[in-house]
Structure 1
Amino acid sequence: MTATIHGIENCDTMKKAFAWLDANGIAYDFHDYKKAGVAEDQLVRWSDIAGWEKVINRAGPTFRKLPDHARQDLDQAKAIALMMGNPSMIKRPILEVGGELEIGFKPERYAVLFH
């Protein structure tokens, strides 16, 4: 079972997820969407599975610094456009494993996915 973890390398939450995966001997591929970008179809797929409201990080500084008009009247298309232009607005980590999608890091959820 191949796991792919998507996020930003220097994020503290990502570091916790990497440490958990490493400590549990889980092999994974890492996609840094700040350096490598993220495809629109991938954001659409994640949004279709989990809901765009869960994929976009409204609590982060990148989103909060947007002008009011950019944050208002959000829908999936507008949220995806924002995340494409500012990958830091994508929640992290996003873990894909065995057809499952996990957004955010909770050790107990990772334990369920891998055991």
Structure 2
Amino acid sequence: MITVYGISNCDTVKKARRWLEQHAIEYRFHDLRSDGLDKSQVQSWLQELGWETLVNRRSTSWKALDAAEREQMDDRRALAAILQQPTLIKRPLLDIGHERHCGFSAPAWEALLLRHTL
């Protein structure tokens, strides 16, 4: 089962969910705020993607971090920061079971999900 991680009021997440629905692709939505995050799950995302991909450095959550914290960010610090502020995750996070992808691009998702369904 495909899982989309995000927050319900995020415009990009709304666009991604609409795209999935328009293409009749079944998915489960996991709201980072209301459904929470599991530490081991975030650790595995960081191992697979690295903090540079997983963390949205253009977000208001990132900009709200102390400058020293931003400059010293690494996977370990990102884990603590994400668990404290899940909105640091670049949204949406698409989990197709055997791999994860951050952000939404219709052409990229189409290629990825076409590959996934073969």
Secondary structure class of the residue paired with 1:31: strand
Partner of 2:14: 15
For 1:1-115, list aligned pairs within 5 A.
2-115=1-114
Instruction: Report the AA paired with residue 14 of structure 1.
Output: V
Offset from partner CA, 1:30-86 (integer Å, 9 cap, x none): 100111111111111111111111101111011101222322211111011001100
Q: Tell me which moved more, 64-73 or 22-31.
A: 64-73
Greater shift, 100-109 or 21-30, is seen at 100-109
> Which runs of structure 1 show a deviation greater than 6 angstroms over 4 or more consecutive aligned residues?
none
CA 71–98 in structure 1, closer or farther in 2 if over 3 Å, else same: closer
In structure 1, how many angstroms separate the alpha carbons of the residues matched to 2:112 and 2:43? 23
Q: Deviations over 1:1-32 (max 9, x none)?
A: x1000010110000110011000000000100
Gaps of 5+ in 2: none
**Partner SS, residue 34 of structure 2:** coil
Aligned residues: 114
* 2:19 aligned partner, one-letter code: W
The runs of 5 or more residues in structure 1 that have no matched partner are: none
